Amino acid sequence: MIILGINAYHPDSSACIIKDGRLIAAVEEERFLRIKHWAGFPKESIRYCLKEAGIGLEEIDYIVLNRDPRANFYKKVIFALLNRPSFSLVRDRLHNMLKIETFKDTLSKEFLIPKEKIKAKIYTVEHHRAHLASSFFVSPFEHATVISIDGFGDFTSCMAAKGNGNKLEVLYEINYPHSLGIFYTAFTQFLGFDKFGDEYKVMGLCAYGKPDCVKEMEDILMLKPHGRFALDLSYFSFYKSRDCMLWNNAAPVLERLYSDKLIEKFGPPRRYEEEITPAHLNIAASVQRIYEKAFFHILNYAYERTKIYNLCLAGGCALNSLANGQLFDNTPFKEVYIQPAASDAGGSLGAAYYLYCQLMGNKRIFVMDKAYWGSSFSEKEMKAAIDEKKNQLNTCSIERIEDEDELCRKTAGFIAQGKIIGWFQGRMEWGPRALGNRSILVDPRKKDMKDILNARIKKREWFRPFAPSILLEKVSEFFEKDYPDPFMLKVYPIKMEKRSLIPAVVHADGTGRLQTVKKEENPLYWKLIKEFENITGVPVLLNTSFNENEPIVNTPIEALDCFLRTKMDVLVMGKFLITRQ
């Protein structure tokens, strides 16, 4: 049984393919089209998944999308009657529904296959049910409390469920227009970060401020009994607009989500190029604090309903690593699982597994314990890319190192010397984090390395932290908490006595966004960190994504282009070691 899961016509468009319950491939369209958070029909992602499975589109048994235009239909009607949306808004929504209804026609057109040859039956799964499934059905837990929180999808912003075996039982949901994700995004815009997906910048900024605006924000985001919350909608404008989010096979664009009343309360919004003042820092800290208060309010009530200590999280809000790192301090949960593409990209994964487990009743047989489900390239393909760029590489030395131990020793030696390394290995990561296959790596012991990286390669804001990758067996030596996180989705305090040893990965508040590296999950990356430890005594590397204000590199050509246009010192691509002279 082969199932193709798809997130289409929505931010972070993606595809995955599962065969007899096991994941074969999963990838986001942005990696192919080179446009962050690309939204539309994920043609290249589908093409890649089919190639990885070794089949044609006509061999797919089921195709499932993570949207159901009919979900919450009566709630949508009531909201429309009360708020009198424009004709154009209704027209746009009907057009969006039609794209889902005619999806097989689109497949036929895009892949030049007669419609009658596409035997697959097409299913749709409600947005948040797909989110829930994307975490629970690939988790290691037989039973779990399962929660999805994001901006919106199918008229819902939050859904809580009880997971048991191959079934999810939805307990409650919070509907449009009340949204914890929209609350956070509105303030992200207010602070001058108006690109889709910029919320992580507020997470970085808040460490420098004091949460002295929490009382004012409690007037805007109000907690209600039974794990619920409500927005004071007078502070927002998104629910009145037909163009709240725009895209047409492009990056999503959000219009202003907040109203003038928010400006009256907090003063003029910051423009992107303007200085960040103490007031902005304090607003960021307060946004994070009130977000966490609401987040734990939801989680604690869900636990009261299930009494299950295992937690599965999904949705865009599951990427808030600051809140995730405080889970065990603020809730009764003892175990937590978040798959690496927890935001909308993960909807394709969830839709596929919701069909396989929930609707078809199949037993779960797969656990996602690693993130490497994307493209990989042969040595022949890497050599061809190097040959294509040979004129631009004429000032570099290029050697091929057959022995992995020697490759890792040499690379670790370069890192210890203060070199910036591009590391391109194996299959590309699934989700927004570079986890040791498409990474830029440097020495965390050098305090100025953060500024060097920003000046020479990343060109990003001064307040954004860099993350540590650490050998799993060494976590308790460096971090206050030692709960593993292979997907870099939790922030933990670094032990006081270790902060001066790895200053480049210590944020302003003494924390680090942890990635634990297990030998069995990524043996080559583990070996590299181990070699660095052998040289320096430190089992930690600074790991950031292999890119320059673009999606993470996918192909050897993209890796070489990034290497050449930046001031990276070394590129390690497969067995090839390319060094600037």
H or E stretch including 244?
none
Q: Residues 267-321: pLDDT tens digits?
A: 999 998 999 999 999 999 999 999 999 999 999 999 999 999 999 999 999 999 9
Q: What is the pLDDT of residue 80?
A: 67
Provide the total of helices (H) and of strands (E) in the chain, helices listed first: 20, 23
Task: State the amino acid at position 231 in one-letter form.
Answer: L
Burial of 463 (0-12, 13-18, 19+ CB in 10 A): middle
Cα distance between residue 581 and residue 122, in whole Å: 55
Label residue 322 by pLDDT band (50, 70, 90). very high
Spatial contact of 231 and 179, defined as CB atoms under 8 Å apart: yes
CATH number of the 2-128 domain: 3.30.420.40
Mean pLDDT of 173-197: 97
Of 315, 311, 318, the C-alpha closest to 337 is 311
Of the candidate ranges 92-106, 116-130, 194-208, the one whose mean pLDDT is the lowest: 92-106
Task: State the amino acid at position 548 in one-letter form.
Answer: E
Label residue 352 by pLDDT band (50, 70, 90). very high
For domain 379-580, the CATH class is alpha beta
pTM for the full predicted model:
0.95
Higher pLDDT, 537 or 92: 537
Label residue 578 by pLDDT band (50, 70, 90). very high
Q: What is the pLDDT of residue 130?
A: 98
**pLDDT above 80: residue 370:** yes
Mean pLDDT of 82-93: 54
List beta partners, residue 19. Answer: 2, 22
Burial of 391 (0-12, 13-18, 19+ CB in 10 A): exposed
**pLDDT above 80: residue 504:** yes
**pLDDT above 70: residue 89:** no
**Which tokens go with 217?**
């924000």
Place of tokens 């966004």: 513
Mean pLDDT of 381-402: 97
**pLDDT above 70: residue 556:** yes
| Cβ partners under 8 Å of residue 415, min gap 6 | 421, 441, 442, 443, 532, 541
Of 143, 421, 531, 180, the C-alpha closest to 307 is 143
Mean pLDDT of 85-105: 62
Mean pLDDT of 402-430: 98
User: What is the phi/psi pair of residue 278, to 5°?
Assistant: -55, -35
Q: 387 to each of 32, 425, 556, how far by Cα in Å?
A: 22, 18, 11
Q: What is the pLDDT of residue 91?
A: 47
Distance of CA 332 to the CA centre of its chain: 25
Of all residues in the chain, what percent carry a pLDDT higher than 90? 90
Cα distance between residue 176 and residue 575, in whole Å: 51
Q: What is the pLDDT of residue 299?
A: 98
Place of tokens 């508040």: 509
Asked if domains 2-128 and 139-338 share a fold, the reply is: yes
Please report, for the chain, the start and end positions of each structural domain, with discontinuous segments joined by +.
2-128, 139-338, 379-580
Q: Residues 215-267: pLDDT tens digits?
A: 999 999 999 999 999 999 999 999 887 667 778 789 999 999 999 999 999 99
Cα distance between residue 452 and residue 529, in whole Å: 21
| Mean confidence (pLDDT) of the chain | 95
Superfamily of domain 139-338, CATH level 4: ATPase, nucleotide binding domain (3.30.420.40)
The DSSP-derived string for 292-350 is HHHHHHHHHHHHHHH---EEEEESGGGG-HHHHTTHHHHSS--EEE--S-TTGGGHHHH
Mean pLDDT of 6-27: 97
Of 390, 215, 345, 357, the C-alpha closest to 290 is 215
Q: 214 to each of 33, 301, 558, how far by Cα in Å?
A: 41, 22, 44
Q: Residues 134-149: pLDDT tens digits?
A: 999 999 999 999 999 9
Q: Residues 460-495: pLDDT tens digits?
A: 999 999 999 999 999 999 999 999 999 999 999 999
Place of tokens 């919004």: 269
Q: What is the pLDDT of residue 77?
A: 66
